[in-house]
């Protein structure tokens, strides 16, 4: 007899809610921590008359459900990624997909372009992500705020709203990394100035993958998860898994991580599906430090002093109950998705004070209190990476402070707790065919790799 001591977690897309994926080859193992699983069985307690003093009455037992949470240190593209011979979203060289599983899960939760996904293979290839392609020598010139591509063939591979990446070579440690805001002919203007500028006609354009908040969140794909152990008999099958939330941490000096929480609507054991699985290998996203081009921006300005930093997507799940389904639920709807960014920032002598009309002066409200009261919008961006294939970024282009900036004592320094929600945004523009229905154009929140 053996005890369950080791773990693997495998995931596959379902063809529909209520239809578990049973094809072994469809499952991808996640390089995550030990999952935190909670089983929930509806139990109704009634004061049934047992006929004996002190005897516990039977419980009336209903349907089963539960939740699972796990954390993944962020990964970039596949180990051994050849940016000149394979593209994110395209057929890989070998059997390992270019895009890591965590980004496919994030894009599924946020909606992205889910109508492009019809099969499990589509899901893990990342067809619901907005992807760009490699173009050798595709750059003509660049500034920190705009990239001019050689021709329309090169620039048309970029969708507005996407992350864009250029470099002299795949091993360059000073790539240009930012977000496409407008596209006019061969010129792509960036949302905010990049930390590096690759102003060289020999520079290449490299492939990127962007997940983004989309109206297609209503088409979120249900998943089957297999939580398995180190023996064939150790396997729980979790059906109809729907993401309730994910949180990305982006602390200075740390490797960013994402924590997922899923709700599932049925579970069972299968004594034939256990056994550990080695996940596919992907490059690790590095710690966010300046020597690896790490920085955080607020309203387009590189900003220091930020701590307790997180980017969280969360939604309400509305259930449709049905007497004729196995779990008693026939469908779920994702409603009121929200992206919330939180951080603390110290009070600085250079902070601006605004009056009630929003004019700077010596008396009035501190800049963060004023932003809350006047509805002043601020963008928030995070960037890191010094090598193609290991680049990470996230962006809230138009954030609203939604709670009073709470005063904190942070190691003896006065600081403010900021809570920002991604608000409406319509400042992107393009002269080609992409729209907000099939690209990140005007999207309110984005997560990308390059």
Q: Of 272, 249, 297, give the one whose Cα is nearest residue 397.
A: 297
DSSP class of residue 16 equals B
d(CA 435, CA 430): 9
d(CA 420, CA 422): 7
The residue assigned the tokens 């000096």 is 253
Q: Give the per-residue pLDDT at 132.
A: 96
Q: Which residues touch 349 (CB under 8 Å, ≥6 apart)?
A: none
Q: Give the per-residue pLDDT at 399.
A: 97
d(CA 24, CA 5): 22
Q: What is the pLDDT along the chain (450 residues), one digit of tens a residue?
A: 789 999 999 999 999 999 999 999 999 999 999 999 999 888 888 888 888 898 888 888 878 899 999 999 999 999 999 999 999 999 999 999 999 999 999 999 999 999 999 999 999 999 999 999 999 999 999 999 999 999 888 888 899 999 999 999 999 999 999 999 999 999 999 999 999 999 999 999 999 999 999 999 989 999 999 999 999 999 999 999 999 999 999 999 999 999 999 999 999 999 999 999 999 999 999 999 999 999 999 999 999 999 999 999 999 988 787 887 878 887 888 999 999 999 999 999 888 888 888 888 889 888 999 999 999 999 999 999 999 999 999 999 999 999 999 999 988 999 999 999 999 999 999 999 999 999 999 999 999 999
Q: Give the per-residue pLDDT at 327.
A: 80
d(CA 147, CA 330): 49
431, two tokens? 């002269």
The dihedral sign for the CA sequence 288, 291, 294, 296: positive
Distance of CA 89 to the CA centre of its chain: 16
Do 378 and 420 touch, CB atoms closer than 8 A?
yes
239, two tokens? 């059906």
The residue assigned the tokens 């006929």 is 51
Q: Give the per-residue pLDDT at 359.
A: 87
Q: Give the per-residue pLDDT at 418.
A: 96
Length of the chain: 450
SS3 110: helix
85, two tokens? 């011979």
Q: Give the per-residue pLDDT at 54.
A: 84
d(CA 327, CA 319): 11
Instruction: Give the H/E segment covering residue 13.
Output: strand 7-13
User: How many other CB atoms are found less than 10 A from the CB of residue 107?
Assistant: 27
């Amino acid at each position: 007899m053996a005890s369950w001591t080791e773990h693997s977690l495998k995931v596959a897309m379902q063809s529909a809610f209520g239809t578990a994926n049973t094809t072994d080859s469809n499952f991808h193992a996640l390089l995550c921590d030990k999952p935190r699983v909670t089983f929930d069985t509806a139990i109704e307690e009634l004061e049934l008359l047992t006929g004996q003093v002190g005897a516990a009455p039977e419980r009336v037992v209903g349907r089963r459900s539960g939740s699972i949470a796990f954390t993944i240190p962020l990964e970039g593209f596949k180990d051994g990624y050849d940016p000149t011979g394979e593209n994110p979203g395209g057929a890989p060289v070998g059997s390992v997909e270019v895009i890591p599983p965590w980004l496919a899960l994030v894009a599924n939760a946020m909606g992205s372009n889910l109508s492009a996904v019809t099969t499990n293979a589509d899901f893990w290839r990342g067809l619901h992500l907005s992807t760009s392609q490699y173009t050798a020598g595709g750059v003509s010139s660049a500034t920190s705020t705009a990239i001019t591509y050689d021709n329309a063939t090169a620039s048309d591979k970029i969708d507005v709203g996407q992350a864009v990446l250029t470099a002299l070579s795949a091993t360059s440690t000073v790539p240009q990394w930012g977000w496409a805001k407008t596209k006019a002919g061969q010129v792509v203007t960036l949302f905010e100035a990049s930390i590096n500028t690759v102003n060289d006609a020999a520079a290449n354009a490299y492939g990127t993958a962007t997940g983004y908040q989309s109206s297609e969140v209503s088409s979120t794909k249900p998943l089957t998860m297999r939580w398995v152990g180190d023996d064939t008999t150790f396997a729980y099958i979790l059906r109809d898994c729907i993401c309730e939330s994910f949180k990305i941490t982006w602390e200075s000096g740390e490797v960013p991580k994402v924590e997922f929480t899923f709700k599932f609507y049925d579970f069972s054991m299968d004594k034939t599906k256990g056994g550990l699985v080695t996940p596919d290998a992907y490059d690790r996203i590095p710690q966010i430090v300046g020597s690896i081009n790490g920085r955080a921006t607020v309203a387009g300005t590189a900003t220091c002093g930020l701590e307790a930093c997180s980017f969280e997507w969360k939604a309400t799940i509305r259930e449709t109950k049905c007497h004729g389904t196995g779990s008693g639920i026939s469908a779920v709807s994702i409603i009121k998705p929200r992206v919330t960014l939180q951080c603390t920032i110290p009070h600085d002598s250079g902070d601006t004070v605004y009056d009630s009309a929003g004019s700077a002066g010596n008396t009035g409200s501190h800049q963060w209190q004023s932003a809350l009261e006047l509805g002043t919008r601020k963008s928030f961006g995070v960037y890191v990476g010094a090598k193609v294939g290991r680049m990470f970024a996230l962006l809230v282009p138009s954030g609203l402070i939604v709670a009073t900036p709470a005063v904190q004592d942070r190691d003896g320094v006065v600081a403010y707790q900021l809570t920002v929600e991604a608000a409406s945004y319509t400042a992107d523009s393009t002269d080609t065919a992409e729209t907000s229905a099939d690209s990140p154009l005007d999207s309110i929140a984005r997560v990308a790799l390059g």
